Structure 1
């Protein structure tokens, strides 16, 4: 059982992908977010595709990885556009790509099409840089439990390293029930990422106890400060 008492600061900090994804966030916000990420020594920043090059320059020499989102937030781009966006992100320095699957096509039952698209994006990007990590965003707010389970299996077969709950832009984000369902429907070597509505330390501890290993949040500093206060650090 994971608790505040059993966690070290480093263990908790490396759970976070600090999100800098709001459409109104500026280049100055990217600077502030990257400085925050370095200060708190989080796992990564997740920035808009147009900001990957800037973030890569700002975080060069640090232990903080650069991530971005692909076909965000709706997953509606054609395969060729998703591939091009992914390759550009890798070229600009992203090492983690959070790709929104085609939600409407998944719900249409076009499972082979969704899987083949993800496989093409992943394969072509890894040909450019084999170290790139893929997290597939489902947007669970729009999916049934059966569709979530199916998306898990599709993502694993396509070659992803993570399955992820949400973009943070739908009507709801992560739920503990969904995280447990996702953990149950992928192999042990596939990781689970929670996002959407993560604002408190208690939420993060509950998330970690589902077997989830990564959290996307724009409230990273508040949560880590809450942890430090609780631990007397």
Structure 2
């Protein structure tokens, strides 16, 4: 089965990203202006940049997305909850938090669930979208499935592959496994290493419904060149529930 997307719909699937430690205010301004120009879904930034980007984007349909516990996830639940609340107070519309992989490797699933529920609850109390970053490069298939099962139980909005800081980013295999596990209960975000139109389409093909990338403009310009009547077609390689 094939699914048709307009170029505008493709733009609205992209989280336009700059989480570099050395990003300047001018870089953040440029990121926001590009997101406005292309009508991307969100700017994905470190939480310290939230207030600045929110001020530029307020009154528009472009969301400000704050990364929490980023990129290692090695802070306490209380620290992540505080950072989440602070980001929301400063204008964040979406929260992308890195889970604690140490606890995953220890099979401390109660901790993983407690952390996910705490951050999801705070986000949802303020009517904000919440995503958990798995960092799939460090995980076994069994660990990915278990986290996704917890995500279904907690009712978080998205499971997300990567920070972009690991040795490997999003893969088709990880996206397919995540989508197979969560079905339509939770959305899937692919991020890390998505730099061209072909990879973008592959991620959508296997179940991603949001794409985190710093190459959004390049991807959209490539898609425009291959579009027919302003649309592209993508093979659907997953089953809907």
**TM-score greater than 0.5 by the shorter chain:** yes
Q: Distance in 1 between matches of 2:59 and 2:15?
A: 18
> Counterpart of 1:65?
63
Per-residue deviation, 1:2: 4.4
Partner of 1:223: 219
Residue equivalent to 1:152: 148
Residue matched to 1:200? 196
Cα 1:17/1:2, change in 2 over 3 Å: farther
TM-score between the two structures when normalised by the length of structure 1: 0.95
State the distance in 2 between where 1:42 and 1:72 align: 22
Q: Which residue of 1 aligns with 2:29?
A: 31
SS of structure 1 residue aligned to 2:182? coil
1:92 to 85, 90, 100: 90
Does the Cα contact within 8 Å between 1:201 and 1:223 map onto a contact in 2?
Answer: yes
Q: Which residue of 2 aligns with 1:103?
A: 101
Give the gaps of 5 or more residues in structure 1.
Answer: none
User: Matched residues in 1 for 2:48 and 2:114: separation?
Assistant: 26
SS at structure 1 position matched to 2:5: coil
What value does the CA root-mean-square deviation take over the aligned residues? Answer: 1.3
State the alpha-carbon separation in 2 of the partners of residues 198 and 76 from structure 1: 25
Say if 2:12 is the partner of 1:14: yes
Is there any run of 5+ residues in structure 2 with no aligned partner, and where? 231-241
Aligned-residue offset at 1:68: 1.1
User: In the alignment, which residue of structure 2 is the partner of 1:175?
Assistant: 171
Structure 1 runs (4+) deviating above 4 angstroms are none
Give the TM-score normalised by the residue count of structure 2.
0.92
Which of 145, 159, 167 matches 1:163?
159
How many residue pairs get aligned? The number is 229
